[in-house]
Amino acid sequence: MTPSAEAGRGVIVCADDDAVIRAALVAAFADSGYTLVTYADGNQVLEALKTSRPALVLLDLRLPPVDGFEVLRRLRQLRGHRHTPVAFLSASTAQDDVVLGLNLGAIDYFAKPIIPGLLRAKVEFLLARQAERLPAMSADLDGAPAEVQWAAEDPDRLLDKYVLVEEIGGGATGHVLKAWDTSLGIYVALKFLRGIVSPQQVKTFYREARTVARLHHEHICRIYDIRQADGQHFIAMQLVEGSPPALKLPPDEAAGIVSRIARAVHHAHEQGVLHRDIKPDNIAIDLAGKPWILDFGIATSIERAVLARERSIVGSPGYMAPEQAGCSNMPVSPLSDVYGLGATLYHFITGQPPVEGRTTTEALAVLEMGEIVPPSKLVPNLDPELERICLKAMARDPRDRHKSALALSEALDAHLAPRAAPRLRLGRWSWPSR
């Protein structure tokens, strides 16, 4: 029998190299409602647990070929077993062994020789207590999608009121998971801080999240919650299900996308928020064909950016303004985001960023020299007016750019106005007028 043969109250896996002990345990739990599955080898246990989640694992300390301590260490690395209850069975009552076992995460340490009835009573009590400690869902999962209900069976995927479904993105400072909010009954995106973080990083993470939470616009993802659970700091935000736009688009489609995103960026500026990392990767298209600007993860307040005259390099080298990269004495400002919008438009039109380099250093060197190939050199027959709008947004001197993100959007709309509005057609993205 394998641990997947669950019946009644569940499966208890027992690993002990003593056949007498194994038989005594099977007899002790015969009428308990639990199915007892036994092994004599530590590696056999680990292999079986790759595809199953028992109610409890009982481990002899002196297992061949790896001891019980090592089995527990490896078990915690297996998907779905971060919270699997484990208890030790051992003839050793040495204090060091007991302390090590509990420090590794065992819920108890039973000394041999065992008294079957007493062991069964203790195990049933422990399992009842363990069930109470599992993360509680603030609403049941009736009506939740099948993938959510399946994920909820894994305790490792339960975090506060969320069921973690799958990872959908990430970067150097954080990663993003698709999750189900059991209170609201909707999918959300959870953005987590990555790795070991300092108190200052946590403070900045919360400050920036609260800054972005002020934004309410039809093309900006909403923030629902900011919290800490199970030692992890994360933001719950609106999930946009769809895909990024193609990295090269017909020029008018590119102009339509950037116009809408520019209005969202203008709204952020009105609320005192700079994005600082506008680029194609931070734009998504939902299933209805609507563009969204994502990842305000390095956003900051305009006041902080201007007063501090920041000189740390923050953003993506291929799309950041010269003043943002430290190549200009001008302060970072809303016009830095106008540059990012222009650079994104450039990429959508030409299929490549305006500034390229094999490394960040090379890209910044190109930006320092101000060498940007005009889009018309890469796209024959490009409308000169659209090229003028794009290059004006990327002017090296911020004072030569459009005076605001709204002004850029209005310029793009004026360019598009005499043309027939593209429509959404099956199998490709195109963009209706507002």
Same domain, 305 and 187: no
Q: What is the pLDDT of residues 292-333, one digit of tens each?
A: 998 775 556 555 554 444 445 556 778 888 888 777 678 889
Strands 162-170 and 174-181: antiparallel
Same domain, 162 and 218: yes
Same domain, 152 and 182: yes
pLDDT for position 279: 93
Same domain, 228 and 246: no
Q: What is the pLDDT of residues 334-383, one digit of tens each?
A: 999 999 999 999 999 999 999 876 555 666 666 666 678 999 999 999 99
CA dihedral 89, 92, 94, 100 (to 10 degrees): -40
State the sign of the Cα–Cα–Cα–Cα dihedral 390, 396, 402, 405. positive
Same domain, 254 and 403: yes
Same domain, 128 and 67: yes
Same domain, 169 and 73: no
Same domain, 269 and 218: no
Of all residues in the chain, the percent with pLDDT exceeding 70 is 83
| Residue 431: inside a domain | no
Domain boundary among 72, 106, 133: 133
| Residue 326: inside a domain | yes
Q: What is the pLDDT of residues 37-69, one digit of tens each?
A: 999 999 999 999 988 889 899 999 999 999 999
> Catalytic annotation on 277?
yes
Is pTM beyond 0.75? Reply is: no
**Bridge partners of residue 163, in order along the sequence:** 158, 180
| Residue 421: inside a domain | no
Cα–Cα distance for residue pair 397/383, rounded to 1 Å = 24
**Bridge partners of residue 183, in order along the sequence:** none
CATH of the domain at 163: 3.30.200.20
| Residue 424: inside a domain | no
Residue 399 CB neighbour total at 10 angstroms: 8
Q: What is the pLDDT of residues 258-280, one digit of tens each?
A: 999 999 999 999 998 888 889 99
- Catalytic residue (choose from 225, 277, 295, 337): 277
Contacts for 125 with CB less than 8 Å, ≥ 6 apart: none
Same domain, 273 and 409: yes
pLDDT for position 418: 79
CATH of the domain at 368: 1.10.510.10
Q: How many domains does the chain have?
A: 3
Least confident range of 86-95, 377-386, 424-433: 424-433
pLDDT for position 38: 95
**Host domain of residue 169:** 146-238
Model confidence band, residue 4 (pLDDT cutoffs 50, 70, 90): very low
Same domain, 264 and 370: yes
